[in-house]
Structure 1
Amino acid sequence: MLDILIIGAGPIGLACGLEAKKAGYSYLIVEKGCLVNSLYKYPLNMTFFSTSDRLEIGGIPFASIQAKPNRPEALEYYRRVADSQGLNINLFEEVTALEPVQDYYQVQTSKAVYQARHVIIAIGFYDAPNLLDIPGEDLPKVRHYYFDPHFYYKQKIVVIGANNSAADVALETFRKGADVTMIIREAELGRIKYWTKPDLENRIAEGSIKAYFQSHLTAIRENEVDIQTPTGQITIPNNYVLAMTGYQPQFGLLQKFGINLSPDFKRHPQYHPETMETNLENVFLAGVICGGMDTHIWFIENSREHAVKIIRHIQEQTRVV
């Protein structure tokens, strides 16, 4: 019987593990992928918007060469945190069911069954991309994830999106020899890192990167795509479509567990903001999952405190009992 089972070994799941260990609770972190799985899927050359001190967990210093760390530095940091603190983690083990049994929960995974008095759900949102729902989206040329620009050398690519991910993809692939066209639903670029936005604006202005604003794809075929623009539909040659359209949490998993979601498009899960407890007694949420479809609300730097709130509440419950 565990005191706490934590679902997700991202930065916030690790932070929950650190707080549980500090408080003397028996705990286990279960992760369906690798350690900090979402960060691992980030683009190879990605630089964080936040400074390294804002990405720290458990008060453990994060030293980086530049003020804003990159992906390899973040992976190194979280690996070292897990190792140096001896965190109890099972990787590549997916949670499939959560069932209440008297005063504890039975947690079924792909490898075992666990019993825990408290469950913390700290899953991210990077596994479920927002789809375009247009003909041809299922072709192999369509990618919802981007890793390295070299692959797209001498290729005609379409980048869908107006925010950070789309900006990084457009600039990196352009500088590695791709012919880049951006498709942007809005009339202007969106939320983009301040050191990136002027670069992209200048590339668009000079015509190095083509951009269609207030436009969207209507169909994808093997060697071309259709674009609906304000002046009508056009067809352009194309080798790859990189749809940087964002991602969403695993709502199906939350519903399967019995956690209430708001009925609107936002699909905010129900939880108490002071304790992070959901409508299920002794089941808590932590991290980006708390925002539902508003995935831009919670980040590592402002949700690492969720771990402190949860463990403090469990301690207060224990004292009352």
Structure 2
Amino acid sequence: MNCVYDMIVIGGGPGGISATVEAKMRGLQSVLLIEKGENHSQTIRKFYKDNKRVDKDYKGQVVELKGSVQFSDGSKESTLDYFDSLLDNGEIDTAFNSEVESVKKVGNSFQVVTTKAGYEAKNVIVAIGKMGKPNKPDYPIPPSIKQLVNFNLDKCSQGEKLLIVGGGNSAAEYALELSKTNTVTLNYRRPTFSRLNDINEEQLYAYDGQELLRLRLGVDIKSLENASGKVRVNFTDGNFTVYDRVVYAIGGTTPVDFLKKCGITLDGAGHPIFDENYQTEVPGLYIGGDIAVNSGGSIAMALNHSYHIIEHILGQR
């Protein structure tokens, strides 16, 4: 530990990057961004298909950006380019391929230990996302078909009979994109969508009407079985269908174990406890981005979290 940073940010997504940029622009010169992946924005890189639309806001809930970092709707590629430019122009200190093992407050500073090094900082922001740990179904996935059950699009190929499971925008966009080269069914356990933006919802029903994909709504999945090297999906209505591959897009979960390693107190539901300044019960330890909201997080919300956190840190100086 050669120096004491003014601030360390854990998580290289939009929220983490905006926090470091905002801090540097507002006078906190000694700032470090730590990311366990080999590059920033791992959720976008891993879970977003090429040319996938990236929205600033969630489901039309327009958020007015408060800080210095501005962002507008774009594609996967344009979004990554934008955050590349922020890191380059801001000359941000980064530690990629560094997974945080613990955060502990000792006296007036934090000891941050990673798989590669140890650091010390006056303030720490935890700005990791949820999608790095995707939700999984309650029923077991037979080991013999695990290679045919995915939580992203990495292994999908053309000409497959696919079942996409989920009712959010990621599930909708997976289905719309894959239906161009595959036979696709989108399954959602509720009878109607409640979390889609208007464009995705309109396109889904249009594609369903044109028989470019099939919507299977209002029915849940009971279990999966191996059917001669394919996936038999048993539905709660007593019917079943055999697919080449099943792709789950059912959101992510709060990484409870990691938050505990950072010394963050959780409530009975496993959600982090923090105040109106996004400060946890440990002074100087903040939380922002997806893990600071129970549902409906967005890039705009994450950027504003960063702005308010930096405002509070500067106010404590």
CA distance 1:311–1:224, change in 2 (3 Å):
closer
Q: Is 2:158 the partner of 1:140? A: no
Structure 2 alignment gaps of length 5 or more: none
Structure 1 Cα separation of the partners of residues 175 and 313 of structure 2: 46
Deviations 1:23-73 (A, max 9, x none): 33312111111112222122212112338x9798953566xxxx7310000
* Structure with bigger RCO (C-alpha 8 Å, 6+ apart): 2
Matched-pair identity in %:
25
Q: Give the alignment of 1:155-234 within 5 angstroms.
A: 155-176=160-181, 178-220=182-224, 221=226, 222-229=229-236, 232-234=237-239
> Structure 1: how far apart are the matches of 2:66 and 2:113?
28
Contact in 2 for aligned 1:224/1:235 (Cα 8 Å)? no
Normalised by the size of structure 1, how large is the TM-score?
0.86
Aligned counterparts of 2:130 and 2:9: Cα–Cα separation in 1: 16
SS in 2 for 1:196: helix
Q: Distance in 2 between matches of 1:78 and 1:135?
A: 38
Deviation at 1:89, TM superposition (A): 1.2
One-letter identity of the residue aligned with 2:112: V
Instruction: Quote the residue 1:45 is aligned against.
Output: 51
Give the C-alpha shift of residue 224 in structure 1.
3.1
Q: Which moved more, 1:237-246 or 1:198-207?
A: 198-207
Counterparts of 1:4-19 in structure 2, within 5 Å, are: 4-19=7-22
Say how many residue pairs are matched. 302
The residue aligned with 2:106 is 101
Q: Is the 8 A contact 1:9 1:89 kept in 2?
A: no
Deviation at 1:7, TM superposition (A): 0.6
Q: Which runs of 5+ in 1 are unaligned?
A: none
Task: Quickly say closer, same or farther: Cα 1:132–1:49, change in 2 above 3 A.
Answer: same
What amino acid maps onto 2:51 in structure 1? N
Match of 2:265 in 1: 260
RMSD: 2.3
Asked if structure 2 preserves the Cα contact closer than 8 Å seen for 1:18 and 1:58, the reply is no
Q: Helix, strand or coil for the counterpart of 2:235?
A: strand
Q: CA–CA distance in 2 between the matches of 1:314 and 1:168?
A: 38
Distance change >3 Å, CA 317–CA 68, structure 1 → 2: closer
Alpha-carbon deviations, 1:146-199, whole Å to 9, x = none?
A: 259xx43211111111221111111211111x1112221001233223222222
| Residue 113 (structure 1) shift | 0.6
Q: Secondary structure at the match of 1:175?
A: coil
Structure 2 counterpart SS, 1:247: coil
